């Protein structure tokens, strides 16, 4: 397998965690992310197998606005602030929430800067790993489509 050191954040305030999370715990955290809420247990386990645990120190920048989205994160503990320069807004996210997912899915630049507010542990999944998994598991793609159809109110009418 290739060098993973370039796939995950590095630098001041970031370290790979020795914290051991079971695949079941990772799958449970991923299931809490809206876009994966329609995924089956098997699909969640596949996603959990890709997730690496990373830790961020307070004030660490997870990613910057307009950065290319190459990894998304599901917060396990702690919190981060998303700031939107273009919209002059901010949002605080916490455990169970994903950051950076939509830019990974769309392969578009990040729409916000994510800055850690307190010691934070997260699951990190690279876009490359996610796309490889999606290309080999149409069931997960279908579950993501179901999420968007439901979110947009385009599902079957009763």
Q: What is the mean pLDDT of each run of 10 residues along the chain (158 residues)?
A: 40 55 93 87 91 96 95 96 84 94 92 96 95 87 83 68
Q: Parallel, antiparallel, or unpaired: how do β-strands 80-84 and 113-116 relate?
A: antiparallel
Of 87, 59, 107, 77, nearest to 17 by C-alpha is 77
Residue 22: CB atoms within 10 A of its CB come to 9
CATH of domain 9-151: 2.60.120.10
pLDDT of residue 15: 53
Residue with tokens 């997730």: 51
pLDDT of residue 154: 76
- Under DSSP, the state recorded for 76 is E
- The whole-angstrom separation of Cα 110 and Cα 85 is 11
The pTM of the whole model exceeds 0.75? yes
């Amino acid at each position: 397998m290739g060098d993973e050191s370039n796939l995950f954040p590095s630098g001041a305030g970031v370290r790979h965690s020795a914290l051991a999370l079971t695949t079941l715990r990772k799958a449970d955290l991923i299931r809490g992310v809206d876009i994966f809420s329609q995924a089956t247990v098997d699909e969640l386990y596949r996603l959990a197998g890709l997730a690496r645990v990373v830790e961020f120190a307070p004030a660490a920048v997870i990613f910057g606005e307009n950065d290319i989205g190459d990894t998304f994160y599901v917060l396990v503990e702690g919190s981060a602030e998303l700031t939107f320069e273009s919209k002059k807004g901010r949002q605080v996210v916490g455990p169970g929430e994903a950051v950076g997912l939509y830019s990974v899915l769309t392969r578009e630049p990040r729409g916000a800067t994510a800055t850690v507010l307190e010691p934070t542990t997260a699951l990190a999944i690279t876009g490359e790993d996610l796309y490889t998994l999606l290309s080999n598991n149409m069931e997960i793609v279908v579950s993501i489509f179901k999420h968007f159809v439901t979110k947009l109110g385009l599902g079957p009418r009763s």
